[in-house]
Chains A and B, each alone.
Chain A
Amino acid sequence: GENVEQHPSTLSVQEGDSAVIKCTYSDSASNYFPWYKQELGKRPQLIIDIRSNVGEKKDQRIAVTLNKTAKHFSLHITETQPEDSAVYFCAASIGTGANNLFFGTGTRLTVIP
């Protein structure tokens, strides 16, 4: 099956700086790559996603890039704010949507005011 690796496991940034989280996947058939944010004790929530036919997608301060050749994708958060502090998970799916997702191990982001 698919194997998703995520780095770093922890990340601390100063408020206003940018944060980048990287993931690699093993199965070249994967074609859907969502990112989830999970606050302490809460459920995961989808923040952005990208399909394999797109190289980059942006939503305000959040962007995701995908390199299919290298089989890696990244989450970029600009102008970080304390409320961005959470655990972020990447995932990959071979299916046509958010089914049979394989998750990375998570990155704990801390934004220091």
Chain B
Amino acid sequence: NAGVTQTPKFQVLKTGQSMTLQCAQDMNHEYMSWYRQDPGMGLRLIHYSVGAGITDQGEVRNGYNVSRSPTEDFPLRLLSAAPSQTSVYFCASSWDISTDTQYFGPGTRLTVL
């Protein structure tokens, strides 16, 4: 199993550009989520999904969009990138919403100029 994979590893965008961060898992996990990690702020939840076609927002609410179909993929879309979205983004998955162990992907370092 590859586990949780993310692409790209690094990305530089200009303000206003859009892009999609890819996340995939091959463990048949139902629950997937996206976090951003900023210096001194820990990880903050952006979006999560409990199954195909079911998504919801976390504490970071603006500027991102997600979809879940097929269930292996959970892409994160930046609609119009802003410098405030410069961060490291981690995708994570777990068996289901009640499972303790959450597996993180390797992360994507995004810089918005």
Residues of A within 8 A of B (CB): 1, 4, 6, 9, 32, 34, 42-46, 49, 89, 91, 95-106
Q: For B74, what are the chain A residues with a Cβ–Cβ distance below 8 Å?
A: none
Q: For B50, what are the chain A residues with a Cβ–Cβ distance below 8 Å?
A: 99
Residues of B within 8 A of A (CB): 31, 33, 35, 40-45, 48, 50, 58-59, 90, 94, 96-102, 104-107
| Beta-carbon contact of B31 and A99 below 8 Å | yes
Name the residue of chain A whose CB is nearest to the CB of B90: A43
Tally A-B pairs: CB < 8 A: 65
Name the residue of chain B whose CB is nearest to the CB of A104: B42
| Beta-carbon contact of A103 and B97 below 8 Å | no
> B40 is contacted by which of A97, A98, A99, A105 (Cβ under 8 Å)?
A105
Q: How far is the CA of A99 from the CA of B42 in the complex (A)?
A: 16
Closest 8 pairs (CB-CB, A-B): A103-B42, A98-B102, A96-B98, A43-B104, A97-B98, A103-B43, A97-B99, A105-B42
| Beta-carbon contact of B45 and A101 below 8 Å | yes
Q: How far is the CB of B38 from chain A (nearest CB, A)?
A: 10
Name the residue of chain A whose CB is nearest to the CB of B109: A41
